[in-house]
Structure formats: C-alpha cells, structure tokens
Structure 1
Amino acid sequence: MRIQFQQPTIQHSYADRLHAPLPTFRDVMRLMWTGGFRGRVEDSDRIPVLRTGLPPVTAQDTALTWVGHSTYVLRMAGATVLADPVWSSRIPGVPRRLTPPGVAFSELPPVDAVLISHNHYDHLDAPTVLRLPRSTPVLVPAGLGRWFRRRRFTEVVELDWWQSVSVAGLTFDFAPAQHWSRRGPRDTCRSLWGSWVISGPEHRVYHAGDTGYGPHFTEIAQRYPGIDVAMVPIGAYDPRWFMQPVHMAPEEAVQAVEDLGATYAATMHWGTFVLTREPVTEPLSRIRKAWREAGRDAKQLWDLAVGESRVLGRK
C-alpha cells in the first residue's frame, strides 16, 4: 500500500509548542530530595486483569481493547489499529511492568495502522515496534519519521497538528496535546507530540496520548464534533507541582472528557508501569469518584480491566 500524503515541514525544535517550561535542574533536585518518582506498589495485586481475547466484531462495530498503559487495540470498520503499542515487560528507567499485556501479541489480527503519540519509551517501545512487518503503515508526529525509516519501515507518515491522512478506510487526524518529547540527552523536543482522532463510517474515537489538562480539548471538540469514546490518561500525576503541566490527574481527565463532548471515557496510562508517586490503584478510585460527582452515567465510564474490551455497535 502506498499512502499519498504531503509531509509537514520538519522543524529543528518543537519547543515553541510547549505549554509550560520544562523542569529545571533545581526542580529535579527538589523532586529527588523529597522522595523521587517511585510510587507504592503494595496493592498491585488489586489491578483488575481480564484477558479474554479480542471479541468478535462486524464491519459496523468499533471495539476497543485495553492492552495496558496507553496501548489500545482499536478495531473499526474492519480495520485493526494499534495505539502506542507496548508489549515489553520492561522499559528503560522504570521497574518491570505490574500486569501482563491484556492481549498476546500473537493473537493480534493483521495490523492496518500503528499510531504513535510521542517518542517517550512508555509510548514508543522499540522491541514491540520491531515485531511488526516493515510494510505496516505507521503514523507518527512530525520529526519522528526518521526513527522508523532507519528501522526500514516503508510506509511512514509524519503529521503536524491538525493534519489528516486516510488509511484502510479510516481518517486519522493528529491533534495537540500538552506534553513534550525526548528519548536521549540531546533530542529534547526535536519531534512533536500529540493526540489522535480516528473517524470511521459509524464512529469517531479519540486517543489522548500523554497530556496535561488544557484548552486544546475544547478546540478538538470544535473541530471534531461527535466523539463517541475518548481514551484518556488518568495516572502518573504525583507530585502535582511537578507533573501538572504534562500529566492529568483523574479529576482533570473527567473534565477533559466533558470538554471533548465525548459520550464515553476509556481509561489508560495507569496500572502497568510505576512512573510516579501515587499508589498504583489510586487513579481508578479517584476517577470513579470524580465521574460520579460530575453526575455522569456510570455506564459511560469504561474503567477497563487490563485485557477488557468494549464494543460500540452500529448507530
């Protein structure tokens, strides 16, 4: 398959897209002196896991399956899409994953497209990506295409914010996020970061990638009305003075779903890797409480177990 697309102009740096300054050396030292990043894992056995495989779907269905962390298997209009795929048991700099991938990699159907929100190791996992056929279409933020081409992927599309491409009968729009990028000591903000709006004949879904709370959610709703499901991060938020610019707390995630105008919220970015200080199950209890206090229908909160799926049928 050849994807026809006008590639964006690649910038030397995307630091002008930051919503807040990155932490200074003094900020990092303060964090280390007050306990560092390490969270409490003693209740990790309470993280729900339901590995029942991918449910059957029709071409009119949209199915979301949470693999863990920010990884979702999305099946829509007969196509299979992987968002931020991480199947590795370890990623650099953090302890081994707490829960197994919700779906075995060998159980995946042929993958029609891969979406990457940004280049952090918990969203762009080289061992997982290298298990894919090199002809798999990969949609990535501007500035990140070279990483894939150097690994001999042949169908790589780089997008700037608000750019769009169609693959396998679906439309993929790259939208803003309030975050940053880095994989090594000398590439800070050398590639972009963002979120994804995926539209098919029946449904429209949103994958937030990694983001702090901000006005971009309202702008996304204005440009892409009718979002059925918003996959939103709810973990890696403590301490707030350090994390707030780039990671939402559960209460902010509820507000983000409201801003997006989404009917359903599907949770992610918790229960897999210990990235920050909050107890590992706290994100789940906090978003359930915030959802209830916001007056939202409990059935519209897809607080999925690892490996659990939900299916939207034809409208």
Structure 2
Amino acid sequence: MLLIGVLLLCACSTPNKVQRQVSKEAVLPQITQGEHQGAYRNLYRTPLGQRQYPAHCEANCYPAHKAVECKTPGQDCRYTAAQQAPELTTGFAVQWLGHASFVINTPDGQQLLLDPVFGQFDWPVRWVQWFAGIIKRPYTPTISSTTLAETDAVLYSHLHYDHFSQQSIEQIGNKPTYYLPLGMADYMPKGGYHIIEQAWYSQSQQGELSIHLVPAHHFNNRRLFNDDNKALWGGWLLKHGENTLFFAGDTGYSEHFKDIQQKYGDIDICLLPIASYHHEEHADWYRYVHTTPEDALVAATELGCKVMIPWGYGNGSWQMGDISSHSPLLRLLHMQRQLNSQVPLLILNEGDSVQL
C-alpha cells in the first residue's frame, strides 16, 4: 500500500508539458490598462441593455410539440421523432453525452472528447450541490473505461465547473493531448499531461485533423477572486480535408459567428448551445453570454451550417435560468417555424449517436 501511495504521489507531481500556438493570424483581445490589465475580453462588446438581437420570441414561446414526450409540461422529456440527418459524407460521428459533453469520432479514426464533465459539476461545486440539494441533474450518461482509453484528444472551451472538470481529467488520464485556450493550462491538475494552448484563430495538427480555436462571446473564471478572464475562452473548429465540425462552447450571440464563416466557409456540422439564457432578474446578462434558441438559429444561418445539433437542454441539464429541462428545445422547435429557418436540425437525446 505504501508503494502504491508513493507511485500515485509521484504521478500527481509530474510536471505537465505545455505548448502554445499563437499564429501570425491569431487574435488576442486583451485589456491594455487599468485594474483589469491583461485580462481577455470579447470581440464585440455592447453595454448591457443596449444589445440588439436579430430575432426574439415575444409570446407563447414554449408550446408543446408532438415529437417531445414529457412526464410533466416541458420536464423529463424525450424527443421521439425519427432522426432525418442530412445526407452528409463528412466522416464525423457525434455522440452527445449531455449538457455540453460530446464524443467525436473523426474521419481518420481518432476519438475526441469535447468539454467532458462526468457527473454534474467538478469539485467543489458538485459537493456544494449535493450538500445543499438545490441543483439537480438526475441523469448523466457515462463513458466506459474502454472508451476512455481510446481517447486521442480532449478539448475544453472554458473553465466553468460544468464545462471543465479536473476530476474528469484525472479519470481520462495523461495519454491524450489536451487542447485549451490560452492560460487554462494553469488550472490543469499535475500529472504529466500533454497540453496545447491556443489563441483565437490559431491551429494545431492532430493526425490528419486540424484543430482551430475560434472566438466565443462569453467569459472565464474559476475562483471567487483574482482570476476573472485571465484565461481565454472559445469554441473549437475541427477540419479534416474540406469537412468541418464546429463546437461553439458557451457563447452569446455576436458578430463573431459571421467572422468564423467568412474565415472557414460554410460549416458542415454545428454543435450550438440553446440553453441558460432565461432569468427574470438578470435576463440581459444571461442572454449576453448565452444564445437563446432563436439566437442559435440565426447563428446557424450565418455560419452556413449544413446541420445544427443543439445542446444544453435535457434531463441531465442543470437548468440554470431555464424554465424546465426541455423548455429550450420546445422554444427552438417553435422558433424554427416562426423564423422559417432552413437550417436542418438534428435533435438528440442524451447518449444518442449519429454518423454524418
């Protein structure tokens, strides 16, 4: 037992290997003066209450839908319609684990994890949630140890406890390469992890796959004090040949979606958030950093998405500011009709997989 303890202690104290990718085209929007000097900022900033959005649901935003079967209105639901994926031949396979966590299998045979958080939150928020009993996510799909062992790369979008989990990282281990926005390596556990930090519009090569960090309209912190926006945040764009997959991360609506399309062209597969936007007392702030379903539909059009897979709702969601587990999905389906959106939607239940 003593030997095992010594070996574990040595593993945990092994320094991580950190590389940084900051290309000539990289964008690093940082505050250059004042008390927040060095902190990162969003590209498109508008004072709260003054931001204009292209679309908005005014009334009756959550009507029941025949394809969404629920135990109670909008709560504990399952999407039951037949999946009609567009005829894409990208070679990507997507499994939605719940909330923002995905397993991606790439055309060159690699397995990637996007924002893997196994459980409800990382510690200590998970402990506080359990102790207080105030936030419940009753269902979280799991990954087998065999599947975890096949992971080639792990990509995290930002530091918030429902998107970045040190406990999950320790469970995954140090075999994969970890891709992070700039500054996030400081928050990784020690243990000999191979980490590549990237700036916006910088890229890395993983096998035949190119991995690009792109802007998001959000914020980043991990502690109560002194680390607000000291690490960058973003979305990830995966490119294999001419085929692309985009994971937006947590983001509000802004012009950055148009910028991404202008740089990379129309996107084949878009994984876009549609939840955590509704809050009666702080509605301006929530929507500023989280897309509503209609914001996501507009963004999908601007990105030229050939298929949009929404996330953030679900029986395992923690319903931050949402009315119910599936209210964002009901609003999405409602606003798709209202806006006459031509972007194909592929609706998954937690744990579902699709080949595209």
Let me know the Cα RMSD of the aligned residues.
2.8
Could you tell me which runs of 5 or more consecutive residues in structure 1 were left unpaired when the two chains were aligned. Answer: 24-40, 50-58
* Deviation string, structure 1 residues 271-312 (Cα, Å, up to 9, x no partner): 2222114222111111112223333458x2011111111211
Q: How many pairs were matched up?
A: 283
Alignment correspondent of 1:304: 348
- Contact 1:7/1:157 (CA < 8 Å) preserved in 2? no
Alignment correspondent of 2:318: 273
Q: Does 1:72 align with 2:102?
A: yes
Q: Residues of 1 paired with 2:90 and 2:253: CA distance?
A: 32
What does 1:1-315 correspond to in 2, within 5 Å? 6=21, 13-17=38-42, 19-20=44-45, 43-48=74-79, 61-77=91-107, 78-91=109-122, 92=125, 94=129, 95-101=135-141, 103-104=143-144, 106-108=146-148, 110-148=150-188, 150-186=189-225, 187-201=227-241, 203-239=243-279, 240-271=283-314, 272-296=317-341, 300-312=344-356
- Contact 1:90/1:96 (CA < 8 Å) preserved in 2? no
- Contact 1:195/1:206 (CA < 8 Å) preserved in 2? yes
Q: Residues of 2 paired with 1:194 and 1:62: CA distance?
A: 21
Tell which structure's C-alpha radius of gyration is larger.
2
* Deviation string, structure 1 residues 139-169 (Cα, Å, up to 9, x no partner): 0010111222x42243101111111001122
Q: Residues of 1 paired with 2:321 and 2:261: CA distance?
A: 30
Per-residue deviation, 1:261: 0.6
Per-residue deviation, 1:46: 1.4
What's the secondary structure of 1:244's corresponding residue?
Answer: helix
- Contact 1:90/1:97 (CA < 8 Å) preserved in 2? no
Paired letter, 2:318: F
Per-residue deviation, 1:262: 0.9
Q: Residues of 1 paired with 2:29 and 2:171: CA distance?
A: 27
Identity among equivalent positions (%) equals 27
- Contact 1:102/1:308 (CA < 8 Å) preserved in 2? no
Assess, with a 3 A threshold, how the Cα gap between structure 1 residues 191 and 5 changes in structure 2: closer, same or farther. closer
* Deviation string, structure 1 residues 84-121 (Cα, Å, up to 9, x no partner): 00111444165232322165455446111111101001
- Contact 1:102/1:306 (CA < 8 Å) preserved in 2? no
Q: Residues of 2 paired with 1:10 and 1:257: CA distance?
A: 24
* Deviation string, structure 1 residues 235-285 (Cα, Å, up to 9, x no partner): 001123231110010010000100101100001122222211422211111
My pick for the range that moved more, 161-170 or 102-111, is 102-111
Alignment correspondent of 1:28: none
Length-normalised TM-score, structure 1: 0.81
Q: Residues of 1 paired with 2:223 and 2:294: CA distance?
A: 32
My pick for the range that moved more, 85-94 or 207-216, is 85-94
Length-normalised TM-score, structure 2: 0.72
Assess, with a 3 A threshold, how the Cα gap between structure 1 residues 147 and 278 changes in structure 2: closer, same or farther. same
Q: Residues of 2 paired with 1:249 and 1:159: CA distance?
A: 28
* Deviation string, structure 1 residues 204-233 (Cα, Å, up to 9, x no partner): 100000000010000000111131110000
What's the secondary structure of 2:319's corresponding residue?
Answer: coil
Q: Residues of 2 paired with 1:158 and 1:290: CA distance?
A: 37
* Deviation string, structure 1 residues 22-58 (Cα, Å, up to 9, x no partner): 98xxxxxxxxxxxxxxxxx965321459xxxxxxxxx
- Contact 1:103/1:307 (CA < 8 Å) preserved in 2? no
What's the secondary structure of 2:190's corresponding residue?
Answer: coil
- Contact 1:88/1:125 (CA < 8 Å) preserved in 2? no
Q: Residues of 2 paired with 1:22 and 1:84: CA distance?
A: 29
